[in-house]
Amino acid sequence: MTKINREEVEHVAELARLHLTEDELEQYTGQLDAILGYMEKLNGLDTNQVVPTAHVIEMDNVVRDDRVTPSLTVEQALANAPAKTRGFFQVPRIL
């Protein structure tokens, strides 16, 4: 049984502002029909014991915990600066 027909593919292409050739319409109709047929097979599976997930693999937060740590002193921050003025980085003037 066909899950999608050419007219529906044309309608979706029009909504997406896609200009498809005749060959592309035939190709996409077949491909989308195959995809929807596969999805129909998946709908037949019993997934009651499957826990819903957002990712197929376990995801851990890779961001470190926020911790208050001592900051650099002004002298340490400016130690390698090529130019400094009155405790600040000195940069070229841009006009």
Spatial distance between the Cα atoms of 86 and 63, rounded to a whole number of angstroms: 36
Q: What confidence tens digit (pLDDT) does each residue in 43-63 have? A: 888 988 888 877 777 777 778
- Does pTM surpass 0.85? no
Q: Which of 7, 56, 66 is nearest to 32 (CA)?
A: 7
Domains and CATH numbers, the chain: 6-43 (1.10.20)
Q: DSSP label at 88?
A: E
Q: Please report the pLDDT score of residue 51 as a whole number.
A: 82
Q: Please report the pLDDT score of residue 70 as a whole number.
A: 94
